[in-house]
Structures are given as structure tokens and as C-alpha cells.
Amino acid sequence: MLSGSVLKAQQLSKEELDSLYVIFIQSAKPEILPLNLQPVQLSPAENKCRFILISQVKHNLYNFTTEQQNILKPLLDRPVLDTSIVSPSGFFRIHYNVTGSIAPKYDPLLSVEENVNQVALAIDSAYNFEVNYLGYPPPPSDNNTGGDILYDIYITSALGAYGFTTPEESIGNQKYTSYIEIHYSFAGSGFATHGFDAMRVTSAHEFHHSIQIGNYTGDKYSEELDAFFYEMTSTSMEEFVYDNVNDYYAYMPHYFNNPGKAFGYFSHNTVDGYDIAIWNIFMKDKFGYDIIKRQWELLPQMRALEAIALSLNEKGTFFGRMLNEFGIWTYFTNYRTIAGEYFEEASEYPPVKSVSTVQFNSQPVNGLAKPTSNNIITFYNSSDTLVAIISNTDYVSGINNINGSFNYEYILSADSIEGSTKLTDNYFAKLNVTNSLFWAVSEILNYQVVRQDSTVYQVDFSNDLYAYPNPFYYSKRYSNYCDCIEILIDPANSSQADLNIYTSGMQLIYSSTLPVENNSFGRKILRWNIRGISEKLASGVYIYAVKNGDEILKGKIVIFNE
């Protein structure tokens, strides 16, 4: 019934609050629940991180019943432990008990102090990589809430989870102080990874949560859809900081068994977010680590999918193109791995599943696609296997209508048909959809890519003059005489042309017939006086369509309203 929220309080119904209460108590204190509500055994996926759950409970705390509040409040308090040490970096204070059931015992053959020293080294390593190497700002000080200004790490039962980061005090601008709890042993079937390795990746995971809510945003416009972004990033940090551990392998089958799920879906009862950490590995391999940080810089002003799309536009590409290429990367894993290509650890990943496998007979295959999903169809005959990766790239619907479905018809034919594309001498393909602007398709024949990212319209963005400046910043002043966006239409077919500007959701926001002019290079252009619009446009991706005689030119413009 409940999807995950980040930090911003939301108005929940009594039924939703009761459900949230039960989900939390099932992990924190299951023995007080009726037997029919007590979990038998939580899986590693259910135990991974309580950050989203705790955040939601804390920010709805005073909406629960008085009886529920009396149970919840002690469980949400900072732990009180008997001993602490300062990590070698001097940034962290590690709290723990010397004796008792939660005394640290990652390696039972070592002393408590030796175990704690490994925690101090691990969290310092996370700091060194994420702050000193990647350039993220460190989490803010808690102003002595934990006894001094150092960032506090508590070694506890962690409510049975690997660990969690607890948001504490608001410091304004959507930011919060926090502290971290890490499990004392990671022993048992509730963990996919055990001992020091589990402790190390949990340190990297939770430390990035503290960075996220301390420096970027702990408040989101929608509690349903953006929680995946927090967990996706923190889980990918495990791989970046501790490449040799690979706890994230345990959650990947959830995505690989269902690549047709919407990209940004999140639920407390699934592993959404953890299972898609490989998207950030893909992003890093394609563009470097900085693109992920750029998305966090954009997040306070926009939704997560918009931030991803905008960061890709800044790199000269599109979300849809990358989503479809990501589908190719996920195909070449496990027994399909090609040495030296795609994911470095592809052979260790599960094989991605098709939404349908059909014998090739030139008949249409009809399907329903979630927004921001990859849908894989496998065709086979006696000699060939052809795989079509069909991407619904509509991230706007991924934000506004994540449970929506969109029809598509894919035809693979042995002969050319009207509107089809020749893949090889023996195969022709055609994708029929209602709004072709938000779809992409690639094909793989016998483990060879024969067509990649066939979007319905193609604009050569290697020429910067298609739209300049792109991106456009309201905060900057440009050299052209009206401080406008110039759109190239050379060669022009008449002395004037029609210009229409749409949002990424295809809402028309500007329409006019403009004179064709010459830019400083003598090329034919239209000048769109964006500053002449009565209200500034929101940051985002906008689509332009120019009617140049009988020709329609289409493209995208990225706008920053800072």
C-alpha cells in the first residue's frame, strides 16, 4: 500500500499510517505485533537499508496515534553506548559497547577493539574516496548533539538491517544533520555478505546517504518516485569504494528478471534502487564519476529523472538514447558476456530476461511498456536468434504516470514492408507506436548489434549551430544582439518559418512565425527571444519544431533557470 518517501512530510491517511507503522515495527520490534503480522525471516533485500523507512516514520511521527508514538519514539532515539574512539582521519567518532550482545564481532577471533578499528578504517576510506577523490562535500556537523562536533557512527543491532542513516535536525535549504548506525556482526542468513566485507560496503553506502541529505536534499517533491535515486546512488558507491566486495550482486536479479519495470519505481517491499545500481556503473563507465555528482547538484530543483536527463543533455546526448544503450549492456552479461566490452564484471551478472520469446514468422508482436523501461523480445528460427530492445524513453510519464502503460507493435519481417528498416538481407524491422518521439529500438542478431538506438527522428547535434546557446542559462548574457536562442535552418526554404516550442511532455508553450535571418557566420537562422516570454521557463528539456517550407526540423534545447 505504501511506496517509499524521502524526508518531506506527507499527508497520509490512517490506513497508510497504520501500514507504515507495521512495516517499521516488523523490522524494529516484531515481537510486539500479532503473530500473523510478524515476519518469518527478512531477506537480505529487505534488510539492506532502513534509511527511507526511518525517514518516512520520523517525518510523520506526530501523525501516528499516541500509543504508536510511545512505541516509535524510543526506537528513533540516538543509541546510548558505553565507549567510543575517533577514526584516524579525525572526522568520525565510532560508538560501541565493549561487552554484551551487540559488541562488535565481525571477526569473532579478534578483540572488540580490533573489530572497531576496522570500522574506523572503513569509514575513513569511504570519506577519502567520496569526499577527497570524487569531490562531494562532507556531511554537516551535528553541533555537539553526539557529544562533540565529530560525525557519529553507532555500532548497534541496526534494527536488523545492514545499517541506516537517520536524518536529525533541519539546517535549512532541504538539508539535514544525521548519524549512522551499522550492524555489529552481519552474521546469519539475513545478509548476503558477512563480516568485514559487509561492514565496509555498508560504511560506503550509508556515508553517501549522509552526504545526500546534508548537502543536496532530504526533501523531495514526490515521496513515491525519487527514493530509488538515493538507494541507487548509495549502492553504487559500495562498488566504487570497495570494488572487490560486490554485495550488490544479490539484488541485481530483481531488475534483470524484469527490465520492463519503470526505471524510477520504489517500494519498501522490494529491492528497487539497490537493483538498479548498475545504471550508475554504466553512467560512470560512459561519462566518468562527475555526471552522478552533477545529478545531485540538480536534484534540489527538479525530480530525479529530470536531473538524470538534464545531466545527459549537458553531455550532448539524451536519456532515451542512454536507456536503450543500457539495455544492450544488460543483454551482454552472464553467458552472453563479450570480453573487454560493456560491463567489466558482466560475467558475474545474471542474464537479462525477455518479456516474450517467439518463433519468427513475420507476424506483429504487440506489447505494453511502462515509461522508462526496456522491453526485450527474442525471435528465433532454425538458424538465427534476433533480439529487439524496445525502450519507452518517456521520463516525464515516468515522473507523472509511473504505473501507466503504452502500446507498441513491433514487426520483424523477412521482406521489406512500408516504413520498415533493413537490418540485414534477411530481416526488416518496424516499430509502430502512438507517440514515436519517446521510443528507441536496437536489435542484436546472433550476439552482434545490427542496429543501435533507432529513434524516430535524428538531429545531428555534432553541429553546435543547430541551437545556440544550448544549454541556455537565464543567469548568463550572450553575444547575439537580442540575447536569444538561435536555431539553424540553413538552407532556408522561404523568408520566414514557423517555430513551435514544447515541454518534454509535449505541451505547447510558444508558437510564432519568425523571419529568417543571417547569423554572424552567414548561416540562416531563426531567433527565439526566450527572454521576451512573460514568465521564465522552468529548468528542463524543451523540444523545438520548425516548419521550413515543407520540411519539419526537430531538436531539443536544455534550459537552466538558476
Q: How confident is the prediction along the chain (562 residues), in pLDDT tens digits per residue?
A: 222 333 444 578 899 899 889 989 988 888 999 888 887 677 777 789 889 889 889 888 999 999 999 999 999 999 999 999 999 999 999 999 999 999 999 999 999 999 999 999 999 999 999 999 999 999 999 989 989 999 999 999 999 999 999 999 999 988 999 999 999 999 988 899 999 999 999 999 999 999 999 999 887 644 556 889 999 999 999 999 999 999 999 999 999 999 998 887 766 556 578 999 999 999 999 999 999 999 999 998 888 998 998 898 888 788 888 999 999 999 999 999 999 999 999 999 999 999 999 999 888 999 999 999 999 999 999 999 999 999 998 887 888 778 889 999 999 999 999 988 999 999 999 999 887 778 899 999 999 999 987 653 333 333 334 677 777 888 777 655 567 888 888 788 889 999 999 987 778 899 999 999 887 556 788 999 998 887 889 888 888 989 888 788 888 888 887 6
Q: What are phi and psi of 413, to 5 degrees?
A: -125, 150
* Annotation: CATH topology of 464-560: Immunoglobulin-like (2.60.40)
Report which residue type is found at 267: S
Rounded CA separation 310/560 (Å):
9
The secondary structure of residue 458, as a DSSP letter, is: -
Enumerate residues 6+ apart whose C-beta is below 8 A from 205.
49, 162, 163, 234, 235, 237, 238
Domain with CATH 2.60.40.3080 in the chain: 464-560
Pick from 193, 296, 319, 329: nearest CA to 249: 193
- Supply the pTM of this predicted model: 0.81
Strands (E), 173-267: 175-183
pLDDT score at 465: 40
Residue 169 half-sphere exposure toward CB, CA atoms < 13 A: 9
Q: Please compute, for residue 12, the number of CA atoms within 13 A of its CA located in the half-sphere on the CB side.
A: 28
Per-residue pLDDT at 268: 56
Cα separation, 509 vs 512, in Å, equals 10
Q: How far is Cα 226 from Cα 229, in angstroms, rounded to an integer?
A: 6
Cell of 4: 517509499
How far CA 261 is from CA of 15, 49, 276, 305, 306, in Å, comes to 27, 22, 11, 15, 18
